[in-house]
Every structure is written in structure tokens, then in C-alpha cells.
């Protein structure tokens, strides 16, 4: 709950309905990904650490609610394998996997998790995690009741960190 600001469902009480999107980043140019750092396959998305105080945002998936057939009360599960090359100096200068429900340019609902504390963190704690190893990061976001058909679901990455991150096996699923 702390990362997302939203209670998470018990996975035993819901089931996966369908997969909306997957990306193993295998189609990337060789300069974007390095084979030795892939979790699966030959490539992973490499996101260079920040060189200044700017934030880095990247959208992986975006689609209209009407095209996705989303219903209020369903859950969106966002998951990825993450490899973090170093810890942020401050807690809120991390790397985030984001989910937004957009109406035009305005976010109607936004949730995210910090990737930095997920790999190598079992049991999960806010300050846990280890550098330089792969680990799964995932969370659920409840589909809100106020969405319109032209609103969009947007899944992305946001970094406020100077450390390089690799992402692989990104998945967006509908659960109910």
C-alpha cells in the first residue's frame, strides 16, 4: 500500500482475465540494450541514469479505455523484471513504474511503485532491495468508476535517479 497509495488485492481472491500488453524489448536496437544484462532473451531496455536534475519519463503502453474493454472494479496488474545499478541517495529520487488513467493531458488517477526497493527484497520492506541483480516488481491498480470511453490507460517509467536501470518482461494484465 505504501508505494501505490492503494490497497492491493489478495491474488488468491482474483484471477487473470487477459493480457493487455507484453514487451520483452527484443525489438530494440543493439545500442539501446545490452545482451549480457537481459533477464530473458537477448535484450533489455536500458534507461541511462540522469546526468542533471531533469526527470526522465517514458511511456511504454497507451490505449483508449473503450479499445481495452476495461470495466470499473477490475484490476490492472503491472509487472516487470528490473535491474537497478545503484541505490538513490534519497528515498524519493528513485525509479518508478507508473500507471495513469488520462483524460486529455490530465491524469485522473495515477499510481506507481519504486523499483529500487524490489529486486532482492524478500520479505518486502520499504528500505530493502539489492543492487545489480534482477527482481520482479509488480502492483495492481483498480480501474476507477469515473472513466469515459475516450480516456486512456498509460503505463510508463519515471526516473529521478542518476543510476542506470534495465527493464525486461514488462506485462500489463486485467484481473477480476
pLDDT at 27 over 90: no
C-alpha angle 137/138/144, rounded to 5°?
150
pLDDT at 87 over 80: no
Mean local confidence (pLDDT), 47-59: 75
Query: How many Å apart are CA 161 and CA 142, to the nearest integer?
Result: 28
User: Most confidently modeled of 22-26, 45-49, 153-157?
Assistant: 153-157
Nearest to 27 by CA among 76, 56, 67, 60: 60
User: Most confidently modeled of 5-14, 25-34, 55-64, 158-167?
Assistant: 5-14
With bands split at pLDDT 50, 70 and 90, how would you rate the model's confidence at 84? confident
- Residue 148: the pLDDT is 96
| Structural contact between residues 155 and 61, judged by C-beta atoms closer than 8 angstroms | yes
pTM value is 0.89
Residue 86 DSSP one-character state: S
- Residue 53: the pLDDT is 64
Q: Which residues contact 19 (CB under 8 A, 6 or more apart)?
A: 171, 172, 173, 174
With bands split at pLDDT 50, 70 and 90, how would you rate the model's confidence at 114? confident
* Cα-Cα-Cα-Cα dihedral sign, residues 170, 88, 46, 125: negative
pLDDT at 127 over 70: no
Between 158 and 121, residue with greater pLDDT: 158
User: Is the preceding omega at residue 123 within 30 degrees of 0, hence cis?
Assistant: yes
- Residue 52: the pLDDT is 65
Residue 91 DSSP one-character state: T
Nearest to 65 by CA among 143, 157, 170, 173: 143
pLDDT at 89 over 70: no
Burial label, 151 (beta-carbon count in 10 A; 0-12, 13-18, 19+): buried
Helices (DSSP H) in 49-146: which residue ranges?
Answer: 65-68
With bands split at pLDDT 50, 70 and 90, how would you rate the model's confidence at 51? low
Q: What percent of the chain has pLDDT over 70?
A: 80
- Average pLDDT of the chain is 85
Amino acid at each position: 500500500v505504501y508505494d501505490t497509495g492503494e490497497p492491493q488485492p489478495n491474488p488468491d481472491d482474483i484471477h487473470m482475465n487477459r493480457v493487455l500488453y507484453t514487451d520483452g524489448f527484443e525489438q530494440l536496437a543493439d545500442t539501446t540494450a545490452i545482451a549480457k544484462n537481459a533477464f530473458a532473451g537477448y535484450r533489455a531496455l536500458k534507461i541511462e541514469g540522469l546526468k542533471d536534475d531533469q526527470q526522465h519519463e517514458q511511456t511504454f503502453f497507451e490505449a483508449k479505455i473503450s479499445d481495452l474493454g476495461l470495466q470499473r472494479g477490475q484490476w490492472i496488474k503491472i509487472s516487470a523484471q528490473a535491474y537497478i545499478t545503484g541505490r538513490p541517495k534519497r528515498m524519493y529520487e528513485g525509479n518508478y513504474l507508473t500507471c495513469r488513467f488520462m483524460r486529455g493531458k490530465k491524469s485522473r488517477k495515477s499510481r506507481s511503485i519504486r523499483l529500487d526497493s524490489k529486486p532482492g527484497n524478500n520479505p518486502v520492506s520499504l528500505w530493502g532491495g539489492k543492487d545489480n541483480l534482477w527482481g520482479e516488481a509488480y502492483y495492481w491498480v483498480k480501474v476507477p468508476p469515473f472513466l469515459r470511453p475516450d480516456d486512456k490507460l498509460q503505463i510508463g517509467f519515471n526516473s529521478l535517479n542518476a543510476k542506470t536501470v534495465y527493464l525486461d518482461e514488462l506485462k500489463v494484465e486485467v484481473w477480476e
